[in-house]
Structures are given as structure tokens and as C-alpha cells.
């Protein structure tokens, strides 16, 4: 910021703050301070910052076009985001793009070890005998488990349930923690939710276990990460929100 005046014409007054991200009507600066935007870029971002539908439209056109122009393969890791976790079968669906290769694991076996690589078009024709091998690849037991998981997810509409549960949990957390002095943001999609705090919070893992009998994890040192089972009912979703709220309460 201090060097900016030397390179910019004085066409407008500049504020001594740099914004790093936005969501809806909120902006966060590079120090993590949250602001309410009552200007909208002088009536520019009328649909809010980081509008997901607009972002998806941009990604669909620009990203896929970039890969096609350079004859690159678009390979997406869906090990954690795939199989309903984000409220769709695959996370990439939110961006409106079509990858050439995706990888799956974790939820595909519901605890049983299995991984899979899906490819389409020319990407599916790249391997020939001898290029790749797996001692246990395609073993009947793992594949039977994987097929059963997919059957249950389709039968019970698990991605749709995850989308609804995710909206419920996110709304409850935002309502409870929206004005919390230590909470920078509450964000997520489907049942993949993060609560970013303004400082390190790894100790919350132990406190959640001992004080709330709640199992959580912390990522990046300052973000509580929630990845509940996709079959949680409304009462369990509400209970998760309540326990998190108590955990982060100053009186807890």
C-alpha cells in the first residue's frame, strides 16, 4: 500500500486498506478484519462479492477453454469433495466444468480401503498394457463394497440430503457465530464446513472432545473443520451447531 501512490494516477482517493476476499455484502482485509460493504464497488457488485453462480459461469467458460487451448488434461482430486460431500455427486459440478480425470477414495468405501480413477475421452485411452499396474486393483471385495456404497447413495438421495443438511448447519452456525469476536468467517458447501478463527485453535480439538463430546478437526492452524456423516438427521445437525456454539462461547 505504501508504494502504490508512486505508480497510480490520483484519479480517486484511496483508503488505507487492502481487501483480500469478499462474500455477499462482506469484505475482509489482509489482516482478517471484516467489513460491511455499503458501496458495492460504487454500484458494481450488485449481486454481492463472490457470487457462486457468476463464478461458476466464469469458470465454465474460462477454465475449460484454457485447458482445451493448451491441450492439457483437467484432472480433479475428488477424494474428499466427491460422492455427495458438497451436496452434489462431485464437487466440480458446482463450477459447471467437465474434467478429463477425477480421483476418488475415502467415501467410496465408507471405511473400507478403495480408490478409483475415472477418465473420459482421450484421457481414457492414454494407458496401454504395462504403463500402470496394481496388485490389488479391482479386487472383488473392495469393488463390491464400492458398488454397495453407490447404490445406497443413489437410493437414499444422499447428495441431496447433504445439500439440505449443509444449508441447515451453515445457517445455524452463521446465526450463532456471526458476531463472535474471534470468528473471521463461517463458510462451506454441503457438509464440508469451516469456521475460521483469528488465531491458532488446535487446542479446540481436545476441548471439543472432552467438554462437548464432539469430534472435530482443525486445518491450517486456525480453521475448525466439520465433515459430519451425510446421513445426519436434522436433530443431529442442530446438535452439532449447538455444541460448536458452546465450545466457542467465552463462558465455555
pTM of this structure: 0.75
CA distance 149 to 109: 7
Q: What is the mean pLDDT of residues 100-109?
A: 96
Domain spanning 53-155: CATH 3.40.640.10: yes
The CB density around residue 239, as the number of other CB atoms within 10 Å, is 14
Q: What is the pLDDT of residue 63?
A: 77
- CATH topology for the 159-248 domain: 3.90.1150
Q: What is the pLDDT of residue 19?
A: 87
- Between 45 and 154, residue with greater pLDDT: 154
16 exposure class (CB count in 10 Å sphere: 0-12, 13-18, 19+): exposed
Q: What is the pLDDT of residue 252?
A: 43
Residue 83's pLDDT band, with cuts at 50, 70 and 90, is: very high
CA distance 226 to 232: 13
80 exposure class (CB count in 10 Å sphere: 0-12, 13-18, 19+): middle
Q: What is the pLDDT of residue 10?
A: 74
pLDDT over 60 at 176, yes or no: yes
Alpha helices, DSSP H, located in the chain:
40-43, 52-69, 140-155, 158-177, 204-212, 234-248
pLDDT over 60 at 1, yes or no: no
Q: What is the mean pLDDT of residues 19-43?
A: 88
Residue positions counted in the chain: 252
Any idea where the domains of the chain sit in the sequence?
Answer: 16-50, 53-155, 159-248
Q: What is the pLDDT of residue 41?
A: 77
- Between 221 and 6, residue with greater pLDDT: 221
For 105-129, letters b (16+ CB in 10 Å) and e give bbbbbeeeebebebbeeebeeeeee
Name the residue among 74, 78, 215, 98 with its Cα closest to residue 159. 78
Amino acid at each position: 500500500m505504501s508504494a502504490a501512490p508512486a505508480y497510480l494516477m490520483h484519479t480517486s482517493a484511496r483508503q488505507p486498506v487492502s481487501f483480500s476476499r469478499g462474500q455477499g455484502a462482506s469484505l475482509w482485509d489482509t489482516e482478517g478484519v471484516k467489513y460491511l460493504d455499503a458501496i458495492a464497488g460504487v454500484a458494481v457488485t450488485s449481486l454481492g462479492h463472490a457470487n457462486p453462480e457468476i463464478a461458476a459461469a466464469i469458470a465454465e467458460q474460462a477454465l475449460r477453454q484454457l485447458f482445451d487451448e493448451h491441450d492439457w488434461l483437467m484432472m480433479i482430486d475428488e477424494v474428499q469433495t466427491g460422492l455427495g460431500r458438497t451436496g452434489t455427486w462431485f464437487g466440480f459440478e458446482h463450477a459447471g466444468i467437465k474434467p478429463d480425470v477425477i480421483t476418488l477414495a475415502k467415501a467410496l468405501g465408507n471405511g473400507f480401503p478403495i480408490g478409483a480413477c475415472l477418465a473420459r475421452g482421450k484421457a481414457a485411452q492414454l494407458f496401454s498394457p504395462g504403463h500402470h499396474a496394481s496388485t490389488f486393483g479391482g479386487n472383488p471385495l473392495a469393488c463390491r463394497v464400492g458398488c454397495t456404497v453407490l447404490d445406497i447413495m443413489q437410493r437414499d438421495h444422499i447428495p441431496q440430503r447433504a445439500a439440505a443438511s449443509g444449508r441447515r448447519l451453515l445457517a445455524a452456525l452463521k446465526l450463532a457465530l456471526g458476531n463472535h469476536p474471534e470468528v473471521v468467517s463461517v463458510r462451506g458447501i454441503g457438509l464440508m464446513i469451516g469456521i475460521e478463527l483469528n488465531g491458532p485453535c488446535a487446542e479446540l480439538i481436545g476441548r471439543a472432545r472432552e467438554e462437548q463430546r464432539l469430534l472435530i478437526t482443525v486445518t491450517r492452524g486456525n480453521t475448525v473443520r466439520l465433515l459430519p456423516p451425510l446421513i445426519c438427521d436434522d436433530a443431529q445437525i442442530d446438535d452439532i451447531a449447538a455444541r460448536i456454539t458452546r465450545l466457542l462461547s467465552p463462558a465455555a
